[in-house]
């Protein structure tokens, strides 16, 4: 650590991991009153991944983090700070970031979790950027991971078809080649919309959680889908526009757009209103569903590895989720 001031932070490496087990729409047809056609038409999802019983958030995170560290050429011992953004930590205490620190052997690192639900990666990237720019930290490992299937109500067809598990990671450090890296990021929240996406039990509201609470599924995720849908489109657009305006860029300058993958119809509506060609939009929802905080960094890592993101590209990322929280980040690729 040092107290010098750096101008910009850059993403030095990316990594991701999804569990092996595939849950298809055909599998869900056997569990609830739904159909492959309804799920694909209303959400764009064909299948999603489900973590093994012995895989918690920190285990998914470990695989993603190892890939990101390898891509960045950074050793665990060089990491100053680990941020895990998740709404499904392994345990209420300690943080998933501390479990990850232990698995990975990042002995010098400070570690904490950040819960901004599906917007976690954008919040986490802004936090990492601020730490790096201030000079307080030199290398930050940011992991966004969720095991959503552990808080899925498998009897609620309106939500159980949506979720999947996964982890994405980036190593963030100071720019050394003049690239602007994280050009700008904007994050927002509105606690008045907290009831739209809610896990009532498991926190201090129902304490201790009773057998009745569990019977009533208060420990599982509830969502008011339609209201969330409408709000998501509006907030996505606002975050993207403000980030671009502040950066002095237009949509023509954007090479790759990575939106949070909650519903293909939301993504298409946002792209249409931004007048952005779908050719520039990264889509993973068909194969992974909504992995909450993990969707953006998994899509980012796959795009980098497939050569869809090249040096100098402007990458716009935007998310929306429980809280409510939403935000956007613009990165000039290293």
Give me the least distance between CB of 157 and ligand UT7, in Å please.
4
Q: Between residues 112 and 229, which has the closer beta carbon with respect to ligand UT7?
A: 229
Question: Toward ligand UT7, which CB reaches closer, 38 or 112?
Answer: 38
Write down the least CB distance from residue 154 to ligand UT7, Å: 12
Binding site for ligand UT7 (CB under 6 A): 34, 38-39, 42-43, 118, 157-158, 161, 197, 225-226, 228-229, 232, 262-263, 266, 290, 320-321
290 among known catalytic residues: yes
Q: Report the nearest approach of ligand UT7 to the CB of residue 152 (Å).
A: 12
Residue among 25, 115, 263, 290 flagged as catalytic: 290
Whether 118 is a known active-site residue: answer yes
Is residue 4 annotated as part of the catalytic site, yes or no?
no
Residue nearest to ligand UT7 (CB): 225
Name the catalytic one among 59, 260, 314, 334.
260
CB of 55 to ligand UT7, least distance (A): 21
76 or 322: CB nearest ligand UT7: 322
Active-site annotation holder among 59, 63, 115, 118:
118
| Number of neighbours of residue 215 by Cβ within 10 angstroms | 8
Nearer CB in complex with ligand UT7: 110/237: 237
Active site residues: 118, 260, 290
């Amino acid at each position: 650590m040092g107290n010098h001031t750096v101008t910009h932070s850059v993403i030095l490496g990316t990594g991701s991991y999804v569990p092996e087990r595939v849950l298809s729409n055909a599998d869900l047809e056997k569990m609830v009153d739904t159909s492959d056609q309804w799920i694909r038409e209303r959400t764009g999802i064909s299948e999603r991944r489900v973590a093994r019983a012995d895989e918690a958030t920190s285990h998914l995170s470990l695989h993603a983090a190892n890939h990101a560290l390898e891509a960045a050429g950074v050793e665990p011992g060089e990491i100053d700070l680990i941020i895990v953004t998740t709404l499904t930590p392994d345990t209420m205490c300690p943080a998933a970031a501390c479990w990850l620190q232990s698995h990975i052997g990042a002995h010098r690192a400070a570690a904490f979790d950040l819960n901004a639900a599906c917007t976690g990666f954008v919040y986490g990237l802004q936090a990492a950027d601020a730490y790096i720019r201030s000079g307080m930290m030199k290398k930050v490992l940011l992991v966004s991971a969720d095991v959503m299937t552990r808080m899925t109500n498998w009897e609620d067809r309106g939500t159980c078809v949506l979720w999947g598990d996964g982890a994405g990671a980036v190593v963030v450090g100071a720019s050394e080649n003049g690239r602007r890296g994280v050009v700008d990021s904007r994050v927002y929240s509105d606690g008045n919309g907290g009831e739209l996406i809610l896990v009532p039990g498991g926190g201090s509201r129902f304490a201790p959680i009773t057998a009745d609470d569990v019977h009533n599924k208060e420990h599982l995720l509830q969502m008011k889908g339609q209201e969330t849908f409408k709000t998501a489109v509006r907030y996505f657009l606002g975050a993207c526009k403000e980030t671009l305006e502040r950066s002095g860029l237009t949509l023509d300058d954007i090479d790759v757009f990575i939106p949070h993958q909650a519903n293909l119809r939301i993504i298409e509506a946002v792209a249409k209103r931004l007048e952005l060609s779908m050719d520039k939009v990264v889509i993973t929802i068909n194969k992974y569903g909504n992995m909450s905080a993990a969707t953006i960094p998994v899509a980012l890592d796959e795009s980098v590895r497939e050569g869809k993101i090249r040096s100098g590209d402007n990458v716009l990322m935007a998310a929306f989720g429980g809280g409510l929280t939403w935000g956007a980040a613009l990165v000039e690729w290293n």
